[in-house]
Homo-oligomer: A and B are copies of this chain.
Amino acid sequence: MRELTEPFSSRLGGTTGLAPYEGKVERHLSDLRGCFLNSDLVEQMLSEGKNPKIYEVYEIPQEPNTGLLSIGATVIYPGKIGDEYYFTKGHFHQKEPRAEIYIGIEGEGRILIQNRSGESTYFQIKPNVLVYIPPQSAHRSINTGSNRLVFLAIYPSDAGHDYKGIEDRGFAKIVVEKDGNPVIEDNPKYIKTS
């Protein structure tokens, strides 16, 4: 963790999306067990030793003190599980209200945003597009392209991650490929009331 008083500069783009960075997180298919619609296929792949890397996050975190801002560049690899594009696990913030801002760096995708009542919307993520994620909103990013999707996230460093709040119900929408194009559909496994 950095000193509160230390300014710094970092470059956007390149392999890691952010350079220099301080920490790295990798998520493989096994970390997203239960997230994809076709869970039978996921279990089959894992039993065959196929555990592809789905995404990485390169971070410059700050101490979790109110008023500080953490930074992370997420790299989602291209790929699908069945017809469903690779995505991030998705989370609410643990501390609320805490907003977040995404900025596309490379590639193209979607972000699903879903509030605690289950109302959801989505936006495109692509270079030079900024998306504002309001408090109390689970957010999941999806790589709908054939290359890497890279985006920057800026969020209050005390926000925290609440994965459970969305794991239990799932997202109301899924993003699947139909005739070569990304389509947003209702998630048949979505649990409307928790």
Q: Which of B8, B67, B128 contacts A135 (CB 8 A)?
A: B67
A139-159, CB under 8 A of B: which get 1 and which 0?
000000000000010111001
Number of residues of chain A lying within 8 A (CB) of chain B: 48
Decide: A128 and B13 in contact? CB cutoff 8 A: yes
Minimal Cβ-Cβ distance residue in B for A14: B128
Decide: A128 and B11 in contact? CB cutoff 8 A: yes
Q: Give the contacts of A66-92 with B (CB-CB under 8 A).
A: 66-69, 71
Q: A7-B133, A9-B124 are in contact. Are A69 and B115 (CB under 8 A)?
A: no
- A32 is an interface residue with CB less than 8 A from chain B: no
| Stoichiometry (number of copies) | 2
Decide: B136 and A97 in contact? CB cutoff 8 A: no
- A95 is an interface residue with CB less than 8 A from chain B: yes
Residues of chain B with a CB closer than 8 A to A155's CB: 69
- A62 is an interface residue with CB less than 8 A from chain B: yes
Distance between A143 CB and nearest chain B CB, rounded to angstroms: 17
A95-124, CB under 8 A of B: which get 1 and which 0?
111111101000000000101000001011
* Docked complex Cα distance between A133 and B10 (Å): 12
Decide: B71 and A115 in contact? CB cutoff 8 A: no
Decide: A134 and B5 in contact? CB cutoff 8 A: yes
- A1 is an interface residue with CB less than 8 A from chain B: no
Q: A62-B99, A101-B69, A154-B154 are in contact. Are A131 and B7 (CB under 8 A)?
A: yes
Decide: A96 and B67 in contact? CB cutoff 8 A: yes
Distance between A136 CB and nearest chain B CB, rounded to angstroms: 7
- A179 is an interface residue with CB less than 8 A from chain B: no
Minimal Cβ-Cβ distance residue in B for A96: B67
